[in-house]
Structure 1
């Protein structure tokens, strides 16, 4: 049995090792039932944007249209993140922070506030807390220098939830929010059901979403939608990643492409993403991707493509360059971008 004093010494020494050694993760066994691990990465980006959509550190499903083209360059490290996992028998606690919480300025300090990405407790087959929505398949997100890569075609949402997993089947109750309507009367949780298929060939998920939405005039509407997403192994280490989403999905799709409710109408959306990653060598690879989201009621039509090249300098250190374009087709504006990234996995 490890004493309390020994635990503190192990924890302190591991933090020192973690700051100096190049390893992919750090785990300390405190007892037969208790262990703690640390992970995350440091990522530095240099980004140049030119066009009629205003500069952003990473593209989301919307932007600010400009009357005249503008160019801007920034160097930042906000995507850097740190996580800690605590395990005691069948109980796991997980916390992760990054630095997209705002604050700072370009004049003096460039300080950035940390924010919670994930904070949840898992006991056997039950998870409770904030993490990726069960509707989202993270394995279908392509490798990119841009924060998520082709966000118009992604399900991309973290929120509070209670999830139950039974083999390949998952069901969850998640935070409701009627974006564009009357969220003060959101009194029923969103319901998500998902089925996962996995094999040597890759993985595919089938997800369904049901919600109750409340309009500004007090009407209640039912919204449903579905998603298929996956990663398929092709030749050698290559893979094809895809997502296809259809229905009254609103805020779940495209990171602010369209609201859940527009006036008194529920928004209906179609979105998709396709990405192919090819390995030129064991450590040199390229991803080509394209994503699009189109909303029927608001008419929002957003598109993004990119191509990149990444090289691992060491097992934990990778550098990459990416060029691409983000387009708000419904407003007839777009911007090109180029980004250089360096990422050190802890």
Structure 2
């Protein structure tokens, strides 16, 4: 039986954004098993101009919707330190009797764990599923990055996402078929809806159909380009409200490589009812009117990141990211988020192939429809060991 190498399977995993590029492997019978991941420490000082970030996720990484906008509130400065982004994965690759290959991948981290998060004593956090998928021929089945998302355009930052104002950042269950540069998928549906007046949020899972995505990936000598489309249904049926509305979106992104090994990464996402797909769900997909009918909310988001290599060990990324929502304030009220934007710059030192340390500064602003806004300033230090 032909041996399936660790290197060949890792290439497939990296193409799907499955995990760290560092891995070790061994064979069990006819199955090649690889494992890897990284340990990462993050320490940050966060200052907010209009109140304190109340949700712990916004203290651990930048979440655009959590920048406080509380006119008249005092500013706040907080220090946080955690190792929750650390992750590990296991992958398998088996050659079948007919000569075809089947692969599997499981990956976990602790970043969004809501269990055992007691910082008084042990700081224990439960593992959280990131990826769980199998790959056979042209098919990918399981949970992984959405086909609507482009990993290549994500910036090289210390922050968990980097450009969440503009990024499509979704992992979910799906069935994907890939043919050449084209990929088509049916993906798990979920929607968020604002009640009339905009106070609160309904999270609905009342869809009769999955989310449909299609993408075209072009790889060239100078970089990569991805064009992706989304078509889905936003539905609510909770005994009080019963309606649905069509949502659609377009994503265009690129990573352009320069001769000096610098690169620029650009993403543009726009659509009607993008909701949870962009901005870490800063804006809901739709809003209910007084008659209980859904109206999709238009969103446009953009980011550009320039990565510069100072030498073989030092590098920096300079980033701008923004999201703009077109709210009908007669329905959403004036407390709905109108825009978010962030700037960041970092300096990263690759001490060895597997050890990186760095520092990053981020400024963020959120404005609501009333015109009120709030700022966030954050300095973050990180150390990361790939294994």
TM over 0.5: yes
Q: Using the alignment, how far apart are the partners of 2:337 and 2:42 within structure 1?
A: 33
Question: How far did residue 105 of structure 1 move?
Answer: 1.9
Equivalent position of 2:258 in the other structure: 234
3-state SS of 1:153 partner: coil
Q: Using the alignment, how far apart are the partners of 2:295 and 2:364 within structure 1?
A: 27
Q: Using the alignment, how far apart are the partners of 2:64 and 2:379 within structure 1?
A: 18
Q: How does 1:95-110 map to 2 (within 5 A)?
A: 95-100=106-111, 101-102=113-114, 103-110=116-123
Equivalent position of 2:380 in the other structure: 339
Q: Using the alignment, how far apart are the partners of 1:49 and 1:261 within structure 2?
A: 32
Equivalent position of 2:344 in the other structure: 306
Query: 1:293-320: CA deviations, max 9, x gaps?
Result: 1111245311111000001111110001
3-state SS of 1:127 partner: strand
Equivalent position of 1:93 in the other structure: 104
8 Å contact from structure 2 (residues 59, 80) kept in 1: no
Equivalent position of 2:27 in the other structure: 29
3-state SS of 1:112 partner: coil
Equivalent position of 1:58 in the other structure: 61
Q: Quick check: 1:130 aligned with 2:168?
A: no
Equivalent position of 1:14 in the other structure: none
Between the two proteins, the alignment pairs up a number of residues equal to 324
Question: How far did residue 94 of structure 1 move?
Answer: 0.2
Q: Quick check: 1:316 aligned with 2:319?
A: no
Equivalent position of 2:204 in the other structure: 183
51-60 or 257-266, which deviates more? 51-60
Q: Using the alignment, how far apart are the partners of 1:341 and 1:202 within structure 2?
A: 28
8 Å contact from structure 2 (residues 205, 236) kept in 1: no
Q: Using the alignment, how far apart are the partners of 1:165 and 1:106 within structure 2?
A: 44
8 Å contact from structure 1 (residues 60, 256) kept in 2: no
Equivalent position of 1:74 in the other structure: 80
Query: 1:144-182: CA deviations, max 9, x gaps?
Result: 111110211100011110000001000000011121157
The one of 42, 49, 61 aligned to 1:45: 42
The one of 154, 168, 172 aligned to 1:159: 172
Question: How far did residue 190 of structure 1 move?
Answer: 0.4
Equivalent position of 1:7 in the other structure: none
8 Å contact from structure 1 (residues 303, 329) kept in 2: no
Q: Using the alignment, how far apart are the partners of 1:300 and 1:38 within structure 2?
A: 43
3-state SS of 2:152 partner: helix
The one of 274, 284, 291 aligned to 1:259: 284
TM-score (norm 2): 0.81
Q: Using the alignment, how far apart are the partners of 1:151 and 1:104 within structure 2?
A: 24
Unaligned runs of 5+ in 2: 2-20, 96-100, 194-201, 289-293, 328-335
8 Å contact from structure 2 (residues 67, 366) kept in 1: no
RMSD: 1.6
8 Å contact from structure 1 (residues 208, 225) kept in 2: yes
8 Å contact from structure 1 (residues 215, 261) kept in 2: no
Q: How does 1:165-204 map to 2 (within 5 A)?
A: 165-180=178-193, 183-204=204-225
Question: How far did residue 273 of structure 1 move?
Answer: 0.9
8 Å contact from structure 1 (residues 58, 147) kept in 2: yes
Question: How far did residue 215 of structure 1 move?
Answer: 4.2
Q: Quick check: 1:115 aligned with 2:128?
A: yes
Question: How far did residue 30 of structure 1 move?
Answer: 3.2
8 Å contact from structure 2 (residues 325, 338) kept in 1: yes
The one of 80, 84, 87 aligned to 2:90: 84
Give the 4+ runs in structure 1 shifted more than 3 A. Answer: none
Q: Using the alignment, how far apart are the partners of 2:137 and 2:64 within structure 1?
A: 36
Question: How far did residue 235 of structure 1 move?
Answer: 3.5
8 Å contact from structure 1 (residues 42, 79) kept in 2: yes
TM-score (norm 1): 0.90
Question: How far did residue 185 of structure 1 move?
Answer: 2.3
3-state SS of 2:362 partner: strand
